[in-house]
Structure 1
Amino acid sequence: MYENDLDFDLVENFVKKNQKSDLILINIDQQKLFFKTRFRTISFSISSSAFGIGNKMNSFQTPLGEHIVAEKIGEDLPLGAVLKGRKWTKEVVVPIKDVIDIPEDVITSRILWLDGVEQGINKGGDVDSKERFIYIHGTAEEGLIGKPASLGCIRMKNKDVIKLFNRVKENTKVLIYSKKESYL
């Protein structure tokens, strides 16, 4: 399920302490998101930051650690709906399936806005994930999914983020982790 990640203490402990809850586990090394319920696990390919891992404001890096889904934005919008400032612009894009990096980081279809829960790591001061506008969201650049390409957020294919959005509740717990780098 996690390619031996369950022996990784951080993930194992997170899953154990939240065993009765739905969880989102984001493995930066594999560029995978796992949505885990009590009965099954669904995996999705993602793209994390092209600038690596980090929790600092204006770093454009993907933050590690425990988060929650603070807000769900975009319910019932069409696939490819463009969101700016968390509002639909009334524009709809056709996702690019080729490996093309366009100049703009277009947020599409749905947003799951993350809030860090670890003071000084991803909450408060210059490391606050919510203040950094860290989202799980759809992208116009679907051809880049599976490799780091974002400006800090977790990008997903539009159909996948809609599927996840429809299953996730606000306050769902999220763990973003990497075996290559510890945040503790």
Structure 2
Amino acid sequence: MDLRQQTLDWYGADGEHRRWPVSTALNGPGEAEHSGCTPRGRHYVRALIGQGQPEATVFVGRRPTGETWSAELSRQQPERDWILSRIIWLCGLESGFNRGPGVDTFRRYIYIHGTPDSEPMGEARSHGCIRMRNRDVIDLFDRLSPGVPVAIRPYP
């Protein structure tokens, strides 16, 4: 993942390559708890949540709410930070940098997740997570398994 380019690259074992636009933190890169920043460095996929759920399923606390995102639902709740379709929960690998007290990616609930298609991609606008178009996050999700490494760059 490249924070400067706002893109996520996936490389398959057979040499296949996919690139998707993303939206990372409005507050920029950073690892501190409560910073609203997207953490950098080496991570891995800790959990995959939402398998089999319909596109635009709404999640709260990593559980489907029974709602499906719509423009009308969004108008009714304009301040809601929408987590949709799939959740790819990340865990840091670097003790003291993105893992451990005060900087722990997993405990900060940093995900790659779907967002309303009305939200822009390619520009930093999230609260710390990595947002993707719903179809894109489903495509990525279906290519992953727990333990897959994830690098978020630029790395200091």
What TM-score do the two structures reach when normalised by structure 1? 0.78
| 1:92 aligns to 2:68 (yes or no) | yes
- Is there any run of 5+ residues in structure 1 with no aligned partner, and where? 1-25, 97-101
Given that residues 117 and 134 in structure 2 are in contact (C-alpha distance below 8 angstroms), is that contact kept between their aligned partners in structure 1? no
Please name the residue that 1:34 is paired with. Answer: 9
Q: Secondary structure in 2 aligned to 1:33? A: strand
Please name the residue that 1:143 is paired with. Answer: 119
Among 86, 110, 124, the alignment partner of 2:100 is 124
- Name the aligned partner's letter for residue 11 of structure 2: K
Q: After superposition, what is the alpha-carbon deviation per residue over 1:151-179, rounded to whole angstroms, capped at 9, x for unaligned?
A: 0000000000000000111100000002x
| 1:159 aligns to 2:132 (yes or no) | no
Given that residues 95 and 139 in structure 1 are in contact (C-alpha distance below 8 angstroms), is that contact kept between their aligned partners in structure 2? no
Please name the residue that 1:174 is paired with. Answer: 150
Q: Take 2:90 and 2:143, find their aligned partners in 1: how far apart are those partners?
A: 16
What number of residue pairs does the alignment pair up?
150
More helix by share: 1
What TM-score do the two structures reach when normalised by structure 2? 0.92
- Per chain length, whose mean CA-contact separation is higher, i.e. which structure has more relative contact order (CA < 8 Å, sep 6+)? 2
- Cα distance, 1:95 vs. partner? 6.8
- Cα distance, 1:40 vs. partner? 1.4
- Is there any run of 5+ residues in structure 2 with no aligned partner, and where? 73-77
- Name the aligned partner's letter for residue 4 of structure 2: D
Please name the residue that 2:83 is paired with. Answer: 107
Given that residues 33 and 108 in structure 2 are in contact (C-alpha distance below 8 angstroms), is that contact kept between their aligned partners in structure 1? yes
Please name the residue that 1:76 is paired with. Answer: 52
Pair 1:48–1:121, CA change in 2 (3 A): same
